[in-house]
Amino acid sequence: MRSRGMAPAETAPAETAHQVRTAEMHHGASATATTGTEDGVRPRTRTRAVAALGALAALLLGALVLAVSIGPIQIPFTETVQVVLGNRSSEHASIIDSIRLPRVLVGLFVGAALGVAGAVMQALFRNPLAEPGVLGVSSGAAVAAVAVIVSGATAAGAWVLPLGAFTGALGALVLVYAVASARRDRSIATLLLIGIALNALFGAVVSAMVTNAPNDDTLRGVVFWLNGDLVARTWSHVQMVVIPVAITLAAVLVFTRDLNVMLLGEVQAQASGVDVVRLRRVLLVLAAVLTGAAVAVAGIIGFVGLVVPHLIRMVLGPDHRLLLPSAALLGGTFLVLADLVARMLFSPVTLQTGTVTALIGAPVFLLLVLRRRRAPRT
């Protein structure tokens, strides 16, 4: 709900050189002529990318098996794998199918969506402090969700709350662009300022509704949703999130080369043939869809879209052809493991998933910031 202030990021010369080399890979044809490799990617670089994605995929699979196996009732890892692969003879099959697996899959898709949305926002704003909710998308979803809860409309069906939150997220993005269009200024700085203002406005609206909640049960429901959690997720929630996230992730990956060129700045990208205005508009909509889909089924979960792209960029570099799929894999892994910690750290007492991501993400982000400040500039 809170908007994090952002200042234009300073870029070290060494990092700029790295970004330039990455962006130049956009011109794959000339690179192919000189190196004989497709898209100008050297075999060593390609091998490194495949190895990194393979390691992240293996880490994700391990996290999934771990999260499904561990709980108040411990299930052997081999049995978990057999049940997931279709063996229904296990006595724990109903626990896995009905309770744990849907919750873990929702965590996977929500984490992947937030990780990629954060990476896209940071690329468009050219600022490492950008996150999925910077334009007020999460706050817009919160206003709609809280209105649904307070009004009692959740009694109409399980789809009402997620649908309301998703609609609120997209409505916030439309409002941002409507205000920007009224000023005839759709620059990144203007969009950011409008997003900050809308975050504050939506926060005030949510506070007003919470203050006037009709009863304590409604108030607890609102607070529970605002903190973000994966409890009681079902296959219906999986269906709600998997289609929009999968389609939108595939669409975002189409623009990885253009995002690499954008690392050089809008002027250079425009000179390289990138339609910057169209690219920004499309990617902001895609990032909003990812954020809206995630918030709709899990509430507001912070720090995934802020920390995960940072970690990937530090280790693997800024090439978005590797950064975006890696952010999806690591984002899913991070949220699945955070939810496992939330369930088991103080068992039988459970924490909310959003609380754990904040407890883990905030210190990690501070360490990343301090490390970045201490890094020597050449």
Predicted confidence at residue 374, as pLDDT, reads: 62
Q: What is the C-alpha R_g of the chain?
A: 21
Helices (H), 132-263: 137-151, 160-183, 188-211, 216-227, 235-253, 256-262
pLDDT digits 0-9 by tens, 65-85? 999 999 999 999 999 999 999
Distance, CA of 274 to CA of 333 (rounded, Å): 33
DSSP state of 349: B
Lowest mean pLDDT among 27-36, 185-194, 247-256: 27-36
Distance, CA of 191 to CA of 195 (rounded, Å): 6
Helix pair angle (216-227, 188-211), 10° resolution: 160
Predicted confidence at residue 330, as pLDDT, reads: 97
Distance, CA of 255 to CA of 266 (rounded, Å): 15
Interval 227-236 mean pLDDT: 92
- Percent of the chain exceeding pLDDT 70 equals 87
The pLDDT of residue 370 is above 90: no
Mean pLDDT of the chain: 85
- Does the pTM exceed 0.75? yes
Predicted confidence at residue 286, as pLDDT, reads: 95
Interval 169-179 mean pLDDT: 90
CB atoms within 10 A of CB 207: 12
The pLDDT of residue 29 is above 70: no
Burial class (CB in 10 A: 0-12, 13-18, 19+), 152: exposed
Which of 265 and 64 is assigned the larger pLDDT?
64
pLDDT band at 376 (very low <50, low <70, confident <90, very high): low
Residue 52 · residue 326 · CB < 8 Å: yes
The pLDDT of residue 245 is above 60: yes
Tokens 């975050």 -> residue: 199
Lowest mean pLDDT among 58-62, 99-103, 241-245, 371-375: 371-375
Helices (H), 299-352: 304-316, 320-344
Query: 349 - beta bridge partners?
Result: 346
Distance, CA of 273 to CA of 99 (rounded, Å): 50
Interval 354-362 mean pLDDT: 92
Predicted confidence at residue 337, as pLDDT, reads: 97
Burial class (CB in 10 A: 0-12, 13-18, 19+), 366: exposed
Predicted confidence at residue 159, as pLDDT, reads: 87
In SS3 terms, 24-42 reads as HCCCHHHHHHHHCCHHHCC
The pLDDT of residue 61 is above 60: yes
Predicted confidence at residue 354, as pLDDT, reads: 94
Phi-psi region of 7 (alpha: psi -120 to 50; beta: other; left: phi over 0): beta
The pLDDT of residue 193 is above 60: yes
Residue 148 · residue 154 · CB < 8 Å: yes
Predicted confidence at residue 12, as pLDDT, reads: 40
The one-letter code for the residue type at 118 is: G
Residue 123 · residue 262 · CB < 8 Å: yes
Predicted confidence at residue 373, as pLDDT, reads: 61
The one-letter code for the residue type at 103 is: R
pLDDT band at 180 (very low <50, low <70, confident <90, very high): confident
Phi-psi region of 12 (alpha: psi -120 to 50; beta: other; left: phi over 0): beta
Query: What are 333's two structure tokens?
Result: 């892994």
Residue 310 · residue 175 · CB < 8 Å: no
Predicted confidence at residue 189, as pLDDT, reads: 82
Which of 367 and 100 is assigned the larger pLDDT?
100
Residue 300 · residue 228 · CB < 8 Å: yes
The pair phi, psi for residue 157, each rounded to 5°, is 155, 165
Query: 346 - beta bridge partners?
Result: 349
The pLDDT of residue 221 is above 50: yes
pLDDT digits 0-9 by tens, 260-306? 998 888 888 888 888 988 999 899 999 999 999 999 999 999 999 99
